[in-house]
Structure 1
Amino acid sequence: MFPLDARRYRVILRTSAQCYVEPHAREFYIHTLRTLNASGLPYLVGGAYALARYTGIERHTKDLDVFVRPEDAQSALDALSAAGYQCDMIFPHWLGKARCAEDFVDVIFSSGNNVARVDDGWFEHAPVGEVLGVPVMLVPAEEMIWSKGFIMERERFDGADVVHVLLACADKIDWDRLIARFGPHWRVLLVHLLMFGFVYPGERHRIPEEPFHELLRRLAEEEGKDADGKPMCQGTLLSRQQYLVDVSRWDFADARLTQGHMSKEEIAHWTAAIDEHH
């Protein structure tokens, strides 16, 4: 329906973009990437480095984000531990960390809401590039939009990143695959497409008509229809803090549980750490 030659991704990578990194951190990141390459474990680089390659936006980065399949997460931490890093599985449902003094790398295998789990598709469509002179594969634009699209915390909103990736990559995106990634949460994607049109009124033509009309068609079909069963709050998929009142006091079902993404124990662990990040 919306064909894409995956090799065209090479065209959109901004190979000249470099995030500013302190010299000691640069050496740490280079060593990390070389260690992972030597381990043979498949991984992808995301975060500020992937964003810079797609959009040209440079950031002062304090960490390095590497993405692995869930089944490879512990092996990646073990490889870094053998190289002298202090490693911990911080959140067993999505995140590990490897530290050396003040520098650290995030080993990511899902998302905080456990929706955007890393699977084979991330690797099948990953473009090839370089980070700090080390050859790597990068998180695909579709998966970047998918994972960032749900980050709507009070202290962090990644909507601007989504809009910038759309601006840079809209004509290269595999829209069928992107819509499929969002699955039953397609309204989140529609919100970002509408936001794109607001942010860039003169660039609305960059979003192809077919995917936009498909999402609007779904919206029209659902108009006036309520979900069956107990009232549900899907806001917990967007923010781990801002909708706690809905599920703790107002008797809304927590979408993280009812849709099978997280266990009660994982939610409790994730919620208990809120104060640590403020």
Structure 2
Amino acid sequence: MTTGHHVLDERSRDFYIQTLTVLNEAGLPYLLGGAYALARYTGIERHTKDLDLFTRPEDAPRVLDALRRAGYSTHTAFPHWLGKAHQGDDFVDIIYSSANGVGTVDDEWFERATADEVFGVPVHLVPVEELLWHKAYVCERERFDGADVAHLIRAKAEDIAWGRLVQRFGPHWQLLFAHVMMFGFVYPGESHRIPEKFMQGMLSRLTSHDNLNPPPGKVCLGTLLSREQYLPDVERWGYADARETQGYMQPQDITTWTAAIGQPDPTPPQEDV
């Protein structure tokens, strides 16, 4: 694998092994995502101080409780998508949706998961389609996952279930098409790897105004891509926030998520119980 600038230290490795083992022994449903799923799919290895584990919203409390009973400090960082468990400086992110509320984990994630082994521990990886789906929306000023999306397509173009991917994006198909177009720019000699049927379907939608299906009213979908960069649109220029109008987030969740801009990861006033 290609190794990034950071080398995983032994303490963090032991922490990850312990975490995966705890959940495996408890028989709890989770999928490994983040940097380690990306590494398995693309060969690009990046070591971080956290482990991204995905589970259904209804299973997240049980996962956090199992880790708490194993000696971790746990809390719900953002109720609409994220819980955390940690020991010292090492964290586990328990993810049950995306930060914009669009990508809720459901049964299909588990039905399509890939069996693998990480750090010698058997795991199931987030499916490549869901990994790409989540990353496509990360377009913040300080973080843009477009390169990860391009690398996933480069590595797995022939294996991606493109029809299912289109279904995942649903009304946001233009975002998927934008990433595919960027892939063609980044890898000009590999555009042929994108299925012709997919490209024809996207181009047909793009040229047919009947298929654009814009939401009613003056709406900004930019808030689905960045929680900060489109605030002027909704706070000053009269655009409705698509996160609320399309039912992805509740107003209180938007307020909490916005207030956390520029802040370090929240630490709990007390442990969840």
For this structure pair, what is the TM-score category when the shorter chain's length is used for normalisation? over 0.9
Secondary structure of 2:45's counterpart equals coil
Q: CA deviation at 1:277?
A: 4.5
The one-letter amino acid of 1:141's match is V
Q: CA deviation at 1:18?
A: 7.8
1:176 alignment partner in structure 2: 163
Matched, 1:134 2:87: no
1:5 alignment partner in structure 2: none
Given that 2:81 and 2:98 are in contact with CA atoms closer than 8 Å, whether structure 1 keeps it comes out as yes
Q: CA deviation at 1:275?
A: 2.0
Q: Which residue of 131, 135, 141 maps to 1:154?
A: 141
How far apart, CA to CA, are the structure 2 residues paired with 1:68 and 1:227? 32
Given that 2:205 and 2:211 are in contact with CA atoms closer than 8 Å, whether structure 1 keeps it comes out as no
CA displacement 1:36-76 (0-9 Å, x = unmatched): 10111110000110000000001122211000000001110
CA displacement 1:150-193 (0-9 Å, x = unmatched): 00000000000000000000000111100000000000000000
Give the structure with the larger helix fraction: 1
Which stretches in structure 1 are left out of the alignment for 5+ residues?
1-15
How far apart, CA to CA, are the structure 1 residues paired with 2:165 and 2:21? 31
How far apart, CA to CA, are the structure 2 residues paired with 1:150 and 1:49? 19
Q: CA deviation at 1:77?
A: 0.4
2:259 alignment partner in structure 1: 272
Q: How does 1:178-257 map to 2 (within 5 A)?
A: 178-222=165-209, 227=214, 229-257=216-244
The one-letter amino acid of 2:186's match is V
1:69 alignment partner in structure 2: 56
Secondary structure of 2:263's counterpart equals helix
Which stretches in structure 2 are left out of the alignment for 5+ residues?
266-273
Secondary structure of 1:276's counterpart equals coil
CA displacement 1:124-168 (0-9 Å, x = unmatched): 000000111100000000001100000000000000000000000
Q: CA deviation at 1:238?
A: 0.2
CA RMSD of aligned residues (A): 1.7
The one-letter amino acid of 2:201's match is E
Matched, 1:82 2:62: no
Given that 1:110 and 1:118 are in contact with CA atoms closer than 8 Å, whether structure 2 keeps it comes out as yes
The one-letter amino acid of 2:161's match is D
List structure 1 runs of 4+ shifted beyond 4 angstroms: 16-19, 223-226
How many residues get paired?
263
TM-score (normalised: structure 2): 0.93
The one-letter amino acid of 1:120's match is D
